[in-house]
Amino acid sequence: MDTAEISKAEPVSVSLTQDADKSLDDELQQLLQTLPKEEGWSGSSFYLYQGFWCSARLKAVVSFQTHFPASDSNVIVASLPKCGTTWLKTLTFSTLYRNQLARDENPLRTSTPHRLVRQLEYDVYVNNPCPNLENMCVYKPWLFATHVPYASLPTSIKDSNCKIVCICRIETPWIRSFLFGFSSASFETKTKSCFPEMKLLTSSVMESHEDLKEDISCEVKQLAMFLGVPFTEDEEKQGVVEEIATICSFENLKELEVNKKGLFIPGIPNESYFRKGKVGDWRNYFFTPSMVERLEKLIHQKLDASGLAFELSSKTSKA
């Protein structure tokens, strides 16, 4: 498909009737009266909904939960904000669709990753409870992204065999990136819980931001295997894995004109998704050794049953 056609692909309105939409609004207003409420950094309200703090986009979250028609072939990129979401979107897009793309015409060169891999609750369902998903994901199988915790994903996703690609990040650099990225973008949010409940599925794969930085080619091959599109021997000999790693590298994405200006998701400039992309840069900011120690203990407590382990102290000593 032509790159220009992808860039112009927008939702086709398949609106609910006015009465049905009003009914949803009325139900949400009643729901909001029952939820714990806090004020965000910029004065907007946040509500504790199903165990996580949700902004005024709660209507989009409920619409996503209610109407998303998951199928076994779907792929969902799941993450906390500022954990490497943009990078994982590009890697998953380029790997999953590589046989549908010309090798020298990857749409990432002219379209922001967030236009190519649409965010379900911050984009797809914001203006329409029943959007035309075919127009939002022009390649097949469908590939979308979400920040919604597993427990609050639509039943259609949890009951299907669709693939969920997760990315995690050591919590201290995540906090730093979170504060930098969203404050600079004037994004209204409030960090109430750094460690949501984590549940790994048989149909999910967990990527680590730090592992991706350390050996991206190996991680890309594992990702392709999980997605059901393993690299052939010929592809590996032709350097396809390395090409994807290069196209999707932080350095390349940051220098693309499409990622330097404008915005796709309202309130968040495209450039705010690309800061430094360095492992360990968090040590140059306001974290003291005692703060790191406290965070490390909390990480072990929360992730003890997940099989994941992050060591901050040893990494700090190398600084």
Active-site residues, by number, are 147
Which residues make Cβ contacts (< 8 Å) with residue 311, sequence separation at least 6? Answer: 296
Given a contact cutoff of 8 angstroms between Cβ atoms, the answer to whether 119 and 77 are in contact is no
Among candidates 294, 300, 302, 296, which has minimal Cα distance to 315?
296
Given a contact cutoff of 8 angstroms between Cβ atoms, the answer to whether 108 and 90 are in contact is yes
For 46, the enclosing helix (H) or strand (E) is: strand 45-49
Beta bridge mates, 127: none
Given a contact cutoff of 8 angstroms between Cβ atoms, the answer to whether 11 and 124 are in contact is yes
Which residues make Cβ contacts (< 8 Å) with residue 230, sequence separation at least 6? Answer: 221, 224
